[in-house]
Structure 1
Amino acid sequence: MNKPLEAMQDAALSDDSAHKRSPKKFLKIITLVSTFGGLLFGYDTGVINGALPFMARPDQLNLTSFTEGLVASSLLLGAAFGAVFSGRLADHKGRKKVIKYLSIVFFITTLGCTFAPNAAVMVFFRFLLGIAVGGASVTVPAFLAELSPAEIRGQMVTKNELMIVSGQLLAYVFNAVIANYSGGSTHIWRYMLVIATLPAILLWIGMFFVPESPRWYASKGKLKSALHVLHLIRHPKRAQLELVAIKKTVQNDRSSEKATFRDLRKPWIRRIVFLGIGIAVVQQISGVNSIMYYGTHILQDAGFKTDVALIANVANGVISVAATFVGIWLLGRVNHRPMLLIGLTGTSTSLLLIGVASMTLHGTPLLPFLVLSMTVMFLAFQQATISPVTWLMLSEIFPQKLRGLGMGVTVFCLWTTNFLISLLFPVLLSWIGLSMTFFIFFCCGVVAFTFVKCFLPETKDKSLEELELYFRNAGSKVNIQNDMPNVNIDKKN
């Protein structure tokens, strides 16, 4: 360590205010405040589930099956672009500042959706709202990862996923309460949408009281500010050591050459990007978001009345939150590839049973309850296995050189696939019916299972260096499950 850095550390250590705050408690506050971005993500994607049946009415926005899909999916198209561009903006302006910007976008676009006079205006503001959703999906986890200690990083980052499903649950609950106690108001859907302005305001206010990422400060050469933040969220000795490690990482990042699209000519890089896209698409083609966005519509089609369907749909939100806790617990204990295979087996079975039940029991009073139980079963497998493993594996398979390119491409593909499925689902439901639509999703689930079984290696307990060496050396005939190289790497470093 050089002398100026030592002097700077001593100066920061003498700042008594840095020691008055408990690092652990302050980290909890930071996590709570920043994950309001995840809560908004969840609420804005989930609220459309209950709002669509009301805004589709002839005296409201008069939506067809196609424009219903467009209203729901336009947010996801915006999210694809928001996810791609927010990373660069956060690198330039800072994570904290970008999250504050996103809270303002959340607030303004939510009001735009609430007061939309027609479908065109609604689609426009939903697209802009999606930019904020996509930005939050990338910036908030990155912000948490850079502030959290290594030993609890996974726990802190996955709390954002928990807030997302909690936001969806809140949306389902408010939808049901407003629908059943609105007194027949014709603008009921506007009340559902406007609630999202409250967490947007709380996020904006809260971000004034949390620090910027010390890693971002260090990347801009602001080492004194980085050390000050570390003293707020770490014990003094650890703060000094971590600053040295951060400084070394920043220097390595600057000296290392980042991958570009030209590098896709290399077979091993192509293979990793192919796997990343595959993992992202696998999560979406299971049909999860057809249930998250159109659960009320599905239950109506199965036989429930609208008000009853809204109440029943709350069960989907409850199981999503409960299953996410299970998924967080499983991640550190179970290999990732088997988790995906078990999850895909469960979700595909649920989809097949929905298709069979809706074909054989159409018009019977038993059908809506069977469909509800199968959607609950689907989400239990999805949220406990597929969803948590997807984001974790995407963070694991890309070596440092490839991370920017790989995550950008795969997250864009994830949101684009989400957009296409959400756009087409109501059209398919109207065109070929509930049973055939879910048979199509079942076939997609079989394709996803085959992809994971044949192409995806196990990543648990493998360092980034081991994975990179494996992808560089693995040929098409290598058993990718059993031939992962053993590289002598100190994983503590």
Structure 2
Amino acid sequence: MSTTTGTSDTATGGAISLPPLTTGPHSKRLGMVALVATFGGLLFGYDTSVINGALSPMVQELHLTALSEGGVTSGLLFGAAVGAITGGRLSDAWGRRKSIMLMAVLFFIGAILCVIAPTFGVMLAGRIVLGLAVGAASTIVPVFLAELAPYEIRGSIAGRNEFAIVLGQLLAFCINAAIAIIAGGEGHGVWRIMLAVEALPAIALFIGMIRMPESPRWLVSKGRDAEALEVLSTLRTKERAEAELKDVERVTTEDKNVVKMDLGSILRNKWLIRILLVGIGLGVAQQLTGINAVMYYGQSVLREAGFGAQVALIVNIGPGIVAVIGAIIALRMMDHFSRRLTFILGFTLTTICHLLIGIGSVALPVGNPARPWVLLVLIIAFVGSMQTFLNVATWVTLSEIFPLKMRGFGIGVSVFCLWIANAFLGLYFPTIISAFGITGTFFGFAVVNALALLFVWRAVPETRGRTLEKLEEDVTTGAIYTQNVKSRA
């Protein structure tokens, strides 16, 4: 059954007309590849959020100070920054598939180090190893999915990684709460069980990737066209695979003749610098919404709002559930809704939510029985807005805006900056909320989100509805920014 009628001139630039996308055994194969690869996103989500419930009993057992407590949380994030930029370069040189397998090994080693950690030093080492894996996952998996997906459904395929991330976060919240309840609270060693769970999907990811194909676009970039056609033929009809391969070969050949993608050439090309700055801006703006401050320190925020410790651990599952629902809605939207408009709506809603949280904190002083529940509802509204309009759209856009020869480097630098912003926010958020309370903290987030809204409106181009090859042409010639100006007029 045909799902589309073929590509338009917008998608292909009139160079090569692609046969219509159809369903069949090849589409099921594509779904299986996406499912296995997104175990990387699941591990990403679990690792970044399991600390939410594990930190308190860990502090008691390992006798952590305030500084070492912050180090345990931010150690993963700084490691992720390094993993993001090195993972992108590694995947360009070594391949997406092998890089994901290495990432699975790092997830497993990091998990074991954390589980057996007798001291802060070993725990920090384990968290940094996990961070390297998380950072690599955040760059390699979205690119792998985007390069495998037909352009018509690229948004929903690449966006599945973000769904896996929020699902991993929800699983972390649920498993933390279940283990704490079964153990009768924050008992001895309970945090080790929470951290041990992540070893299972790491094993599944490694075994699954053994049978997965390499990215066909990466294969073409290395001159391995026959292998690329073989891979595409398992994920498309034969006619569609041959046509897509010709389009990828055409753009790759043109790039070799026109645009070299070494670091010096990138820095000398104003359009490539501009798209790199757009990628960095999107990554940093996503983090400065405050979403991961809520995901890492949700219990602390809810306790500040007025919940007891045990109740905070349980109601903290609420934002996780809403995050998954929001990601599902976002996946349905990605292939049918403007990326730019999605960003504009998202930052508008998060700005409003932060303002309402600040106002609610002022209007309902500590001790008011309605305070914790009203703030919980507003926090859930913020998480829902973020996951529906911003998180999936950010990762999908980062996976598609960069030309093939600089894709690993471009997303690596962008996500490096994303993780650095994330790390510093994670490191200093307890200090910020202690100094300014919920009111000042969320009013500050509102200002930052308003600035992000202005950045998106002025700088971020539309990417939906184009093949990666057409996007590459428009980015390297600057045409995508001219179209961006027209869309604002």
CA–CA distance in 2 between the matches of 1:143 and 1:395?
A: 8
Indicate the residue corresponding to 1:15 in structure 2: none
Indicate the residue corresponding to 1:448 in structure 2: 452
**2:390 aligned with 1:386:** yes
CA–CA distance in 2 between the matches of 1:210 and 1:357?
A: 50
> Residue 181 of structure 1: SS of its match in structure 2?
helix
CA–CA distance in 2 between the matches of 1:321 and 1:372?
A: 17
State which of 418, 424, 441 in structure 2 corresponds to 1:414: 418
Matches within 5 A, 1:26-425: 26-57=29-60, 60-184=61-185, 185-255=187-257, 256-258=259-261, 260=263, 264=267, 268-359=271-362, 360-395=364-399, 397-398=401-402, 403=407, 405-425=409-429
CA–CA distance in 2 between the matches of 1:479 and 1:330?
A: 20
User: In structure 2, do the counterparts of structure 1 residues 52 and 101 end up closer, same or farther at CA, with 3 Å as the change threshold?
Assistant: same
> Residue 56 of structure 1: SS of its match in structure 2?
helix
Paired residues of 2:52 and 2:297 also in contact (CA < 8 A): yes
Q: How many residues align?
A: 459
User: In structure 2, do the counterparts of structure 1 residues 28 and 340 end up closer, same or farther at CA, with 3 Å as the change threshold?
Assistant: closer
Task: Tell me which moved more, 89-98 or 414-423.
Answer: 89-98
Indicate the residue corresponding to 2:485 in structure 1: 480
User: In structure 2, do the counterparts of structure 1 residues 229 and 334 end up closer, same or farther at CA, with 3 Å as the change threshold?
Assistant: closer
Paired residues of 1:102 and 1:132 also in contact (CA < 8 A): yes
Paired residues of 2:146 and 2:400 also in contact (CA < 8 A): no
> Residue 367 of structure 2: SS of its match in structure 1?
coil
Deviations 1:27-70 (A, max 9, x none): 2221111111111011111111111122122xx12334443332
CA–CA distance in 1 between the matches of 2:310 and 2:291?
A: 23
CA–CA distance in 2 between the matches of 1:380 and 1:365?
A: 24
Q: Relative contact order, CA 8 A, sep 6+: which one is greater? A: 2
Paired residues of 2:169 and 2:320 also in contact (CA < 8 A): yes
CA–CA distance in 1 between the matches of 2:54 and 2:374?
A: 24
CA–CA distance in 2 between the matches of 1:34 and 1:302?
A: 38
**2:441 aligned with 1:437:** yes
Structure 1: segments with no counterpart, 5+ residues:
1-20, 485-493
CA–CA distance in 1 between the matches of 2:401 and 2:206?
A: 34
Equivalent residue letter for 1:480: V
User: In structure 2, do the counterparts of structure 1 residues 338 and 423 end up closer, same or farther at CA, with 3 Å as the change threshold?
Assistant: same
CA–CA distance in 2 between the matches of 1:331 and 1:262?
A: 32
Question: Which protein is bigger by CA-based radius of gyration?
Answer: 1
Structure 2: segments with no counterpart, 5+ residues:
1-23
Paired residues of 2:139 and 2:412 also in contact (CA < 8 A): no
User: In structure 2, do the counterparts of structure 1 residues 274 and 95 end up closer, same or farther at CA, with 3 Å as the change threshold?
Assistant: closer
CA–CA distance in 2 between the matches of 1:110 and 1:220?
A: 34
Paired residues of 2:284 and 2:418 also in contact (CA < 8 A): yes
Tell me how far 1:452 sits from its aligned partner: 2.9
| TM-score normalised by length of structure 2 | 0.85
Deviations 1:314-336 (A, max 9, x none): 11111001111222223333333
% same residue? 43
Task: Tell me which moved more, 410-419 or 259-268.
Answer: 259-268
Task: Tell me which moved more, 145-154 or 214-223.
Answer: 214-223
User: In structure 2, do the counterparts of structure 1 residues 350 and 89 end up closer, same or farther at CA, with 3 Å as the change threshold?
Assistant: same
User: In structure 2, do the counterparts of structure 1 residues 421 and 178 end up closer, same or farther at CA, with 3 Å as the change threshold?
Assistant: same
CA–CA distance in 2 between the matches of 1:447 and 1:175?
A: 35
Indicate the residue corresponding to 2:19 in structure 1: none
Task: Tell me which moved more, 39-48 or 263-272.
Answer: 263-272
| TM-score normalised by length of structure 1 | 0.85
User: In structure 2, do the counterparts of structure 1 residues 151 and 444 end up closer, same or farther at CA, with 3 Å as the change threshold?
Assistant: closer
User: In structure 2, do the counterparts of structure 1 residues 250 and 288 end up closer, same or farther at CA, with 3 Å as the change threshold?
Assistant: same
Paired residues of 2:88 and 2:139 also in contact (CA < 8 A): yes
CA–CA distance in 2 between the matches of 1:98 and 1:356?
A: 46
Equivalent residue letter for 1:377: A
> Residue 485 of structure 2: SS of its match in structure 1?
coil
> Residue 407 of structure 1: SS of its match in structure 2?
helix
Deviations 1:124-163 (A, max 9, x none): 2111111101111111122222333333222211111111
User: In structure 2, do the counterparts of structure 1 residues 451 and 89 end up closer, same or farther at CA, with 3 Å as the change threshold?
Assistant: closer
